[in-house]
Structure 1
């Protein structure tokens, strides 16, 4: 019922395909603008030229064309590739064993150069501009070497600056390069004269990336391991400005757009940013950004009823919104903080006011434009925060019990939250067992449910704000009146619950237990209506389908199961590589989203039952679920077994011996055959067409629905005025096929030819069967036998009627005079009568059934 499609990842890109029931569509927070064929392992290096994209994993290098197809595979390294440099017709790769290979891109031939790690360990490489067939290598020892890859010769060695080389970058000037060192120095060096032009010192550690502006401003940008960017004025030879906290982690790469004041950067924080330099002081501001979680997401929920936005909370402490429509609608609500103003002043690195990661949250769209519509609780923290989706920021309220307003206990924290469907109130459960109600608009405490008992494992509010359901670690489910705060119902569960989920429309409550079972409670009758078992690990999350018929659960045993509540059966199950820590079903029922252990992505699975007929039969007790490899775009050949539900049905030409089958041709091909003379009269022009003064050249074509050109005829040197009677009596293909069918009794070829013709050509072919039109009685007899075959086999029934009616209209006089034709017509008459009696009986039976059904409904 669910099936997997494809996905996007945001650091580089990986893709996924195939499952027994789910289909992956998009993976967010590692995103990209296109999808390529997946590689078996994580990508370690990426480079591109004007035609191909090169990506390596382990010791294998692949070349992608059109951004997705693997067109070349380069195998020759024995160790992991860590450097790539394409230029011209070659691509250079270096592995961790210090082996450099120069590949010919098209022929996949290569030249191998081995270096001694003790004397020259390659750490950077560059193709200097205008240096034909030459590459520059930097080493961990600090020295540089210039090589000619065509002649495999070392041209020159540079002594270096006593520190390991981390990066090499071509300057806009020819012969000039920038060298980044581990010591934090940046050397601008002329390699033609081996002369250092400038030297800069950066205080943030090794240089991770360098780029030059090419829009007329002599500026060089340098990245650092702490996420800062330094901008250097090359004319003044001094630091121009600093962009601190450009990324929360090390700058992995940067490049200025040629001829534009735009800088593109990326880092290990899973973010890609475009900076524009249009302000005073030379500093840049963020123009565009694409970012995901820098740590795996722990909780995901659909936001709103249109199924287009997914809220995600990650271990990095941020709350983000991902769009299922397009990445441009993604947005980050930021990171929770005790005091936002102080946090901004201190910066990301020294922020001691940041809140722990979000463990649970709830959202509602009602009144979200008026006040905060999201409430969240944090790991081991007593205060719950509100968030504003419209403003994409943390809200104004910090919600915690009044008795802890002056001091913050260490062992008391919020465990569960829920928000009412109206968006006016939120309910917060604590580790002490108390449940508090707050007003979302004002943040005022509005009451408390119960006393201190076991820790609250889950809270839920019904759709009409009448009841509040709480589940405690002591094994009790309690139902309270929302307004009066009175206990209405309490029942003891067979095991301690690990979480609850309420489907508000149907009033059913899903309860996950610590013993890996799931129960379904009807809050109207207060009875357990379903109990499911089958997971072999902790239940991580649950979600209902929009209609409440399915309950989908994920467990630490790496399985995702779908339970059908009306039948009480397991109808789908499959395995994933890493356990799903959170699940959420789209309010429109088209997608299921999942987040997994140690995975930055959020996966979408399309509901196959919305697009095709799927048999939702219960799975057998000994069913072995299939493993879905995440992520990938397509199954390997031979891995996917054909599914009965997905086989496309092709209707045969004849459905059965007792059934009459039509040809499915358009009515314009056969319905008006008897009225062609009337149509021709109506379409006859009132005035004859005028001959143009100079007739244009045209290529003559043969008559028919499919245009075909007349082959050129060989010109004879001697033109004869004698008429060739053989040309006038030329037989058509249809005529020839009918003649052959007299001996073979195979009428498929003439019938197929007749079906391909238009009404006018059909009339012309049938008119030419008579002796006065160049035909014969034998060919007319063959045509009648063809009609008889069609009636016997009961296919192309409407064509047989139309062709026979036109044939009788054209040749009624000849048919009445020829005994052979009269005998064949009498046989056809009997066949037609028998077929019509059979059809009339079927029609009458169908009409009787239809009349009975109508009367029963009335």
Structure 2
């Protein structure tokens, strides 16, 4: 692999940093719409799924993420896997090979456009497809897929003569690949000779071949068509064996995947097929009939369907950002969902912190809306992410004996969510989240405890207007619905009973702003007015509501949205008026934020109330500091912000964007003003221009164009491996040696004592006696031990040590470690000890001669100075003192005593610095988590 290719592969992502924000990570992404790679390594099965510019590897036992590939500059468009090696295709048309997270090789050429699909033939050949199936390239993979420095040979262009759709390898057909086309073509190609072997003529269906799967039986291949039909053909005789298909299966769309069940269960041949409508069908090949089906297995097209070899498990992925593992364990032999990981499958239009800010466990959850679904995302444990169920939509009533109204207009489906509100305070008592859906005159109720839609609804009597805005009080007892005709109605959330009209905006505009300021005070505004209305609910049965209106300054725009922060309300205006910050107590506009001229798409307050973040439809975002009336940051994105919010403690800003909406991505940006710079330098100044923060740079390349020498130096830095040396003076780094390795070194005596046999081995009572025997033909003869006697008589003189040939007898007894420390090769000595086992490490340190103790002390002093591999060096020092402490105390060597004193001073200084840093870190963690505040309040 060339140096340029190495540089390109190792330049993963150097995140661009604005004046305040820096890329942190992306949450909520499970898998992309591309097909995933399912591979078995030993007894474990892994799933490699594309996630925009990276990929994630899951295990099928628990669907835990094993590792996440660092994000690349180009979008990953396809992946295939060979064992624990991944081959990826990129949007720039190139192909790369990675062994886990280590780059192996990158092609220097590629497609004119992006790589659309990849197909492997063993571990030798690779087919890459581009240009809508009209460009097929053949690559030869390196001999080793685990050692860096390999080279991908090729590409060779295959002239198929038709549009490529899918391919598979048929067992026992060496170097051959079966290729399907858009017009129903099916051909067998030899990839080694680049020649077409045979064009199959037995297929009568002119629709596209969309799926191929080789059967466990020789020569048999299953073919799926765009029409929904499935054929089983014999490749050797070019004949159709039988055809599968029902009215139900054909109505489910085109075939997207085929796989055979290969475990040793009680079955006579089972074929599974997936469709573009998200259904999975199980076919009985012995009876040639449909055995069972899983309707709605995925919400949308199924991209991957693979039966795990030798196990009754099936893995599927879809365009709904979900990975499912199914199992054959029902008495009738049908599938059952075993486990699933799922994220948002449509653009996330609303996100807010779901929990009490005083509860550290709850404040890391986010409440989101995506399409017509509600979900909860965790910033800590991604496995807890879940999209809430809507199975109650199919129920006809609210439950036995319930007087609650429950009916859905039309076909019972839900439109897109227009507004969402909820509070976690009451989730264990009653349903606590409500949503307004497009085209619905009722508000839908969800339970955070059940994580599902409940069969209740908020319905205004004798009303046909649509609900466009909803709000829930902080106490969780009341809810409000804003209607399209300008009315605002109140409900009791526990009983879902109607509690009357709150107010009505007379200008016939729909409710654009609806917020609870308190359980009895409601803020509302109309989309056709420039007034904010505060309605206070009367406390008595005969009391009337009190109204108060705040008129905004004259202008052409009207109110569009609002964000409340105590007595301050940020109101987004239409027609380029920006955002007005209104003080509700005084009724005055205290800030006018007009830096953004495009319509506002999202805005939100920080939890401290100091920062206001505003994003517009031009993909720009501005962060304002309200007390100083100044802009603290300007950034722009690849696509407009759909929703945003600040995490509890203002450590992170969470945003969603349309360009990653198909992945269900929530982007987290670190607040560097709160946490400080990564290198301890001064914080960045406010940028004058909008910084494209989500367009990362290559490492070593500055925003300011440098000269050729600087670019060359940057490339050299990229080609070098990652440095594990501390970046700042006084810092330390931990070793990459497994903990068990050095942990066993400290307890080797205990392990030997524990493993000591209880009794010595006993001699067997009667053991067979064997005589050395040779054969003269068929006659056995006794063979004396002549060879042994000869070897004994000839005591090799060359094996005896000749003292006259040894210049320094003491140095000849030095170990490899001692020779390195005598030569002051500290780096080599450390690497040598890293390679030792627990017993080997004990032996190396225990056999250091007294003459070399000073060099050993100097070695530990040098390692303490660098701070590298801190934990491993401390273990080595502990063993060194264990074996040689008495010798150090009794020694009269002044040089040795001076070296020990210097080492003692160095260790004392390092510990004080380390202890101070830990104390500061502990204070910071307590400050951010609130534990320090709670402790002070308790005192």
Q: RMSD in angstroms over aligned alpha carbons?
A: 4.2
Relative to structure 1, is the Cα distance of residues 617 and 249 closer, same or farther in structure 2, using a 3 angstrom cutoff?
closer
The residue aligned with 1:36 is: 69
Instruction: Give CA-to-partner distance per residue, 1:45-96, whole Å, 9 cap, x none.
Output: 3221124222223562323424444432232434554442222222222343
8 Å Cα contact 1:101/1:112 also seen in 2: yes
Secondary structure (helix, strand or coil) at the match of 2:424 reads coil
8 Å Cα contact 1:417/1:458 also seen in 2: no
Secondary structure (helix, strand or coil) at the match of 2:300 reads coil
The residue aligned with 2:320 is: 269
Relative to structure 1, is the Cα distance of residues 396 and 248 closer, same or farther in structure 2, using a 3 angstrom cutoff?
closer
Query: Residues of 2 paired with 1:143 and 1:651: CA distance?
Result: 66
The answer to whether residue 138 in structure 2 is matched with residue 101 in structure 1 is: yes
Relative to structure 1, is the Cα distance of residues 155 and 650 closer, same or farther in structure 2, using a 3 angstrom cutoff?
closer
* Post-superposition offset of 1:111: 5.8
Relative to structure 1, is the Cα distance of residues 184 and 16 closer, same or farther in structure 2, using a 3 angstrom cutoff?
farther
8 Å Cα contact 1:472/1:497 also seen in 2: yes
The residue aligned with 2:563 is: 501
Instruction: Give CA-to-partner distance per residue, 1:481-505, whole Å, 9 cap, x none.
Output: 234553353221025221122224x
* Post-superposition offset of 1:335: 4.6
Query: Residues of 1 paired with 2:195 and 2:324: CA distance?
Result: 41
The residue aligned with 1:392 is: 451
Relative to structure 1, is the Cα distance of residues 276 and 483 closer, same or farther in structure 2, using a 3 angstrom cutoff?
farther
What are the residue-to-residue correspondences of 1:111-260 with 2, within 5 Å? 112-117=156-161, 120-163=162-205, 164-202=208-246, 203-204=250-251, 205-216=253-264, 217=267, 218-260=269-311
Secondary structure (helix, strand or coil) at the match of 1:366 reads helix
Relative to structure 1, is the Cα distance of residues 466 and 179 closer, same or farther in structure 2, using a 3 angstrom cutoff?
closer
The residue aligned with 1:806 is: none
The residue aligned with 1:19 is: 17
The residue aligned with 2:798 is: none
Query: Residues of 2 paired with 1:618 and 1:112: CA distance?
Result: 50
The answer to whether residue 573 in structure 2 is matched with residue 573 in structure 1 is: no
* Post-superposition offset of 1:579: 0.8
Relative to structure 1, is the Cα distance of residues 236 and 731 closer, same or farther in structure 2, using a 3 angstrom cutoff?
closer
Relative to structure 1, is the Cα distance of residues 523 and 136 closer, same or farther in structure 2, using a 3 angstrom cutoff?
same
Q: Greater Rg, structure 1 or structure 2?
A: 1
* Post-superposition offset of 1:563: 1.4
* Post-superposition offset of 1:388: 0.6
The answer to whether residue 419 in structure 2 is matched with residue 360 in structure 1 is: yes
Query: Residues of 2 paired with 1:45 and 1:147: CA distance?
Result: 22
* Post-superposition offset of 1:19: 3.3
Query: Residues of 2 paired with 1:526 and 1:617: CA distance?
Result: 37
8 Å Cα contact 1:209/1:252 also seen in 2: yes
Relative to structure 1, is the Cα distance of residues 618 and 402 closer, same or farther in structure 2, using a 3 angstrom cutoff?
farther
* Post-superposition offset of 1:358: 0.8
8 Å Cα contact 2:344/2:387 also seen in 1: no
8 Å Cα contact 1:539/1:553 also seen in 2: yes
The residue aligned with 1:517 is: 578
Query: Residues of 2 paired with 1:708 and 1:618: CA distance?
Result: 45
Relative to structure 1, is the Cα distance of residues 112 and 155 closer, same or farther in structure 2, using a 3 angstrom cutoff?
same
The residue aligned with 1:472 is: 526
Relative to structure 1, is the Cα distance of residues 198 and 594 closer, same or farther in structure 2, using a 3 angstrom cutoff?
same
What are the residue-to-residue correspondences of 1:411-450 with 2, within 5 Å? 412-450=465-503
What are the residue-to-residue correspondences of 1:275-294 with 2, within 5 Å? 275-294=326-345
Query: Residues of 1 paired with 2:254 and 2:534: CA distance?
Result: 60
Which of the residues 303, 321, 324 maps onto 2:379? 324
Query: Residues of 1 paired with 2:729 and 2:156: CA distance?
Result: 59
Secondary structure (helix, strand or coil) at the match of 1:258 reads coil
Relative to structure 1, is the Cα distance of residues 731 and 428 closer, same or farther in structure 2, using a 3 angstrom cutoff?
closer
* Post-superposition offset of 1:393: 1.4
* Post-superposition offset of 1:518: 2.1
* Post-superposition offset of 1:475: 0.8
Consecutive unaligned residues of structure 2, counting only runs of 5 or more, are 1-11, 32-55, 57-64, 143-149, 357-361, 399-408, 706-725, 731-809, 825-850, 856-861, 866-876, 907-939
Secondary structure (helix, strand or coil) at the match of 1:385 reads strand
The residue aligned with 1:314 is: 370
Which of the residues 513, 534, 538 maps onto 1:458? 513
Instruction: Give CA-to-partner distance per residue, 1:134-162, whole Å, 9 cap, x none.
Output: 22222344343333322334333322312
8 Å Cα contact 1:342/1:353 also seen in 2: no
Secondary structure (helix, strand or coil) at the match of 1:22 reads strand
The residue aligned with 2:794 is: none
The residue aligned with 2:675 is: 611
Secondary structure (helix, strand or coil) at the match of 2:660 reads coil
Relative to structure 1, is the Cα distance of residues 466 and 195 closer, same or farther in structure 2, using a 3 angstrom cutoff?
closer
Which of the residues 545, 556, 559 maps onto 2:606? 545
What are the residue-to-residue correspondences of 1:45-60 with 2, within 5 Å? 45-58=78-91, 60=93
Relative to structure 1, is the Cα distance of residues 442 and 155 closer, same or farther in structure 2, using a 3 angstrom cutoff?
same
Secondary structure (helix, strand or coil) at the match of 1:281 reads coil
* Post-superposition offset of 1:193: 4.0
Query: Residues of 2 paired with 1:155 and 1:339: CA distance?
Result: 53
* Post-superposition offset of 1:397: 2.8
Which of the residues 436, 442, 447 maps onto 1:377? 436
Secondary structure (helix, strand or coil) at the match of 1:282 reads coil
Which of the residues 593, 616, 624 maps onto 2:654? 593
Q: How does the TM-score come out when normalised to structure 2?
A: 0.63
Query: Residues of 2 paired with 1:50 and 1:500: CA distance?
Result: 52
8 Å Cα contact 1:18/1:635 also seen in 2: no
Relative to structure 1, is the Cα distance of residues 609 and 78 closer, same or farther in structure 2, using a 3 angstrom cutoff?
closer
Query: Residues of 1 paired with 2:224 and 2:676: CA distance?
Result: 57
Name the stretch that deviates more: 57-66 or 371-380. 57-66
* Post-superposition offset of 1:310: 1.6
Query: Residues of 2 paired with 1:536 and 1:618: CA distance?
Result: 26
Name the stretch that deviates more: 130-139 or 329-338. 329-338
Secondary structure (helix, strand or coil) at the match of 1:403 reads coil
Relative to structure 1, is the Cα distance of residues 491 and 233 closer, same or farther in structure 2, using a 3 angstrom cutoff?
same
Query: Residues of 2 paired with 1:427 and 1:339: CA distance?
Result: 26
Instruction: Give CA-to-partner distance per residue, 1:13-59, whole Å, 9 cap, x none.
Output: x9994331232312324544343244545443322112422222356
The residue aligned with 2:797 is: none
Relative to structure 1, is the Cα distance of residues 542 and 153 closer, same or farther in structure 2, using a 3 angstrom cutoff?
closer
The answer to whether residue 121 in structure 2 is matched with residue 91 in structure 1 is: no
Query: Residues of 2 paired with 1:351 and 1:271: CA distance?
Result: 28
8 Å Cα contact 1:542/1:583 also seen in 2: yes
8 Å Cα contact 2:673/2:683 also seen in 1: no
Which of the residues 670, 683, 688 maps onto 1:623? 688
8 Å Cα contact 1:501/1:511 also seen in 2: yes
Query: Residues of 2 paired with 1:731 and 1:142: CA distance?
Result: 78
Which of the residues 107, 111, 117 maps onto 1:77? 111
Instruction: Give CA-to-partner distance per residue, 1:463-484, whole Å, 9 cap, x none.
Output: 5x35322223311112222345
Query: Residues of 1 paired with 2:192 and 2:76: CA distance?
Result: 29
Relative to structure 1, is the Cα distance of residues 471 and 618 closer, same or farther in structure 2, using a 3 angstrom cutoff?
farther
Q: How does the TM-score come out when normalised to structure 1?
A: 0.69
Query: Residues of 2 paired with 1:80 and 1:103: CA distance?
Result: 19
The answer to whether residue 701 in structure 2 is matched with residue 638 in structure 1 is: yes
Secondary structure (helix, strand or coil) at the match of 1:155 reads strand
